[in-house]
């Protein structure tokens, strides 16, 4: 997934070895949220498990769905 177009994410080599992380939660990799959603966790469960705001989780979900739809057309 190309996270460079996801407004809530950033890439900075000082955080998580340059993985895409949340701007507001720079120690939380965005891909980890998506992986957990793909594994069947609910957005609420992911937010609670990682102690991040639900809006970040739903943002990842919406962005990933839009990217997957764009690439399937």
Which option is the CATH number for 3-72: 3.40.50.1820, 2.60.40.10, 1.10.760.10, 1.10.10.10? 1.10.10.10
| Prediction pTM value | 0.88
- Kindly state the average pLDDT of the residues 19-47: 97
Give the residue ranges of DSSP H helices in the chain. Answer: 30-38, 43-50, 54-72
Question: 41-70 in b/e burial notation, b at 16+ Cβ within 10 A?
Answer: bebeebbeebebeeebbbbbbebbeeeeee
Pairing mode of beta strands 20-22, 9-11: antiparallel
Q: What is the pLDDT of residues 49-68, one digit of tens each?
A: 999 999 999 999 999 999 98
Domain ranges (residues) in the chain: 3-72
- pLDDT for the residue numbered 37: 97
* 73 — pLDDT class (breaks 50, 70, 90): very low
- pLDDT for the residue numbered 23: 97
> Average model confidence (pLDDT) for the chain?
93
CA 43 to chain centre: 11
Give the Cβ contact number of residue 7 at 10 Å.
8
């Amino acid at each position: 997934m190309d996270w460079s177009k996801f407004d809530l994410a950033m890439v900075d080599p000082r955080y998580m070895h340059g993985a895409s992380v949340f701007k507001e939660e720079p120690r939380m990799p965005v891909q980890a949220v998506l992986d957990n959603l793909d594994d069947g966790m609910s957005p609420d469960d992911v937010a609670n498990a990682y102690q991040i705001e639900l809006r970040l989780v739903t943002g990842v979900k919406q962005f990933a769905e839009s990217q997957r739809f764009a690439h399937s057309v």
